Amino acid sequence: MTPYLIIFAIVAVLAFANTQATKANKTAFVVLCVGIGVFVGISDMLGGYDRYIYCEVFEVQARKVQSGAPIFNAHFQRVFGHEQVYGLINTAIGYFTENRYVYVMVYTVIMYILLAFSILRYTKDPFFALMIFLGLMFFFSFTYLRQVMAAIILWFSLPYIAKRKAIPFFALVLTASLIHNSAAYFALLYFIPRKKFAPENIVAVMALLLFFGIVFSASSIFLFYGDIVEDAANKAQSFSRLSQSGVRIEYILESILFLTILLMNYRKIGSSPSDCVITNAYLMFCGVLLFFCRSTDGGRIAWHSAIGVILLITRLCEKRSTDFLRLFMVIMCFALYYRILTGWGMLLSPYKTCFTPGIREGDHIEQKYEYNHRYDYDKFYNL
């Protein structure tokens, strides 16, 4: 558990130290993001069964293309048919190696480089934004490779909404959707008016979304994506079945908390097209959590809009006059971070890299989903 706490402590100290008066070192920020990406990427299959599924699918495609099969072979069409950009990323890495650890490391480092530049594009206080990312999404980057990558790609699209440039915006949405189909809903953000809504209207819409979320099941919405997870030797359950869940109180509480922060600081938010787009993304994040409050995957769907929360709260906290909010967000982000860290237990701790042989004692995920025990003795046997 200690390595994870050290990472949060470093980012939190930098987040709290950097203010509008002290210009952030962009190079240091990129290096920090890459370092975190390496930390995630070299971990030995931590995070849950999804990483095993993604790695097995990758290795099959890598073997096929290295043996001379065409890129769009039968395996590609079966497992990447609806998410072909993700399949092409797998194929590109597969031309150079069949090793799953190299694949995860390369993929994850690319993901964190994109994260660094997406944050730097919008804020003068990137370390604070990174701290919020740690609280909301960091641990999921260990295991949900497709969805986190799709979300980060979507985050580059915000200026195109503000400037009403439909072609580049929808091109990015399409690219992200072909990595994970759930990214398609982000297209709705383009059609939300770029204006500040009255607080009472925000409350009314959120209450309505919560009502529909509780009364109606969102299971049918899951039927059109998640194909890779379902096709990999039936190792994961369908999203439609996973969504048949009781009300997730934590989603409701998280949404209410972020809405409270928004409404308490609403007068401080600008009304420029850029400000309105970020605010709309923030509201979409909260609304998705409420609408999918009966789904075990509601939080994952909301990630695509998390950039609104990351940027808006970072902007609110840029000035010294908001020291209380800065301190509150450090505590809140740590609480979210620590909740996942302790809640996932063996999926994350003890931390083990792929540079040491063997497996972690008592790792029940490895015992159930390991598909190639040669990795137990030589992590890089198939470079």
Which is more confident, 8 or 215?
A: 8
3-state secondary structure of 380: coil
pLDDT of residue 320: 61
CA 292 – CA 213 distance, rounded (Å) = 6
Q: Give one DSSP letter per residue of 148-183, joined into a string.
A: HHHHHHHGGGHHHHHTT-HHHHHHHHHHHHTT-GGG
Delimit the domains of the chain by residue range.
2-375
3-state secondary structure of 353: strand
pLDDT (tens digit, 9 = 90+) per residue, 297-329?
778 889 999 999 999 999 998 766 677 888 899
pLDDT score of 371 more than 50: yes
On the CB side of 68, how many CA atoms lie within 13 Å of its CA? Answer: 0
Which run of H or E residues covers position 249?
helix 249-264
CA 114 – CA 268 distance, rounded (Å) = 29
What percentage of residues in the chain have a pLDDT greater than 90?
Answer: 77
pLDDT of residue 223: 46
pLDDT (tens digit, 9 = 90+) per residue, 327-347?
899 999 999 999 999 999 999
User: Residue 121 is encoded by which pair of tokens?
Assistant: 């594009």
pTM, entire model:
0.91
Q: Tell me, rounded to whole angstroms, the distance of Cα 296 from its chain centroid.
A: 15
3-state secondary structure of 383: coil
- Please compute the mean of the pLDDT values over residues 354-383 and round it to a whole number: 91
pLDDT of residue 228: 47
- Phi first, then psi: what are they for 265, rounded to 5°? -115, 20
pLDDT of residue 235: 40
Residue 221 confidence class, pLDDT cut points 50, 70, 90? low
Q: Give one DSSP letter per residue of 3-58, joined into a string.
A: HHHHHHHHHHHHHHH--TTS---HHHHHHHHHHHHHHHHTBSSTT-HHHHHHHHHH
Which run of H or E residues covers position 78?
helix 74-80
pLDDT of residue 245: 54
Residue 217 confidence class, pLDDT cut points 50, 70, 90? low
Residue 20 confidence class, pLDDT cut points 50, 70, 90? low
What percentage of residues in the chain have a pLDDT greater than 70?
Answer: 90
CA 24 – CA 18 distance, rounded (Å) = 7
Average confidence score pLDDT of the chain: 89
pLDDT of residue 374: 93
Q: Are 42 and 6 contacting, i.e. CB atoms less than 8 angstroms apart?
A: no
- Please compute the mean of the pLDDT values over residues 265-290 and round it to a whole number: 94
pLDDT of residue 289: 94
